Amino acid sequence: MRKLPILVLAAVSAASLAACGGDKTYSSVVDKVKDSKTITIGTKWDQPSLGLKKGAAPEGFDVDVAQYVVKQLAGGQDVNITWKESASSNREAFLANGTVDIIFATYSITDSRKQKVTFGGPYIVAHQDTMVRSDSADITKATDLAGKRICQAAGSNSYKRITDPPPDGKLDLDAQLV
């Protein structure tokens, strides 16, 4: 199958945010980190090598990048990080309502998402692909998905690359989402 590119979010932050659990309001994540030396970071906890929580704290590439970036924002000083699991289905809401200050996780950068959140990246470019059952010999290329049932994950836009026209989509195929 043809690989479909996906951009992974460097960091997503709300334009302004309220300090979690406090009365002070900051105009940016940078201001909050510099002043309070605290931050709440959302990341996925179910993606091995990127963001996975097996013990007390998440680990992986996204976590390492988050720790590095936050320390740089704080001028090299240590910052108290509170980690919050942020799935595809809740990350935009978590940013909007202040549950998290910033997200470090896989997150396709699209024109429609740029209207809701600020992207600070990408810091890595990954690719998406399509898996089909081994007995689906009639599907050998992406356009063969027309009229087929395809699954979608809540909060993910991967399916749009198949079903929608540009700018967010690629193929504009009629497929049944399940």
pLDDT digits over 33-48, tens only?
999 999 999 999 999 9
- Was domain 4-127 assigned CATH 3.40.190.10? yes
CA distances from 163 to 16, 110, 143 (A): 34, 15, 10
Please list the ranges in the chain whose pLDDT falls under 70.
1-23, 155, 167-168, 177-178
**Which has the closest alpha carbon to 66: 31, 29, 17, 20?**
29
**Residue percentage of the chain with pLDDT more than 70:** 82
| Per-domain boundaries in the chain | 4-127, 130-178
For residue 80, the SS3 value is strand
Who contacts 4 (Cβ-Cβ below 8 Å, separation ≥6)? 127, 128, 129, 130, 142, 158, 161, 170
- What type of residue is 63? V
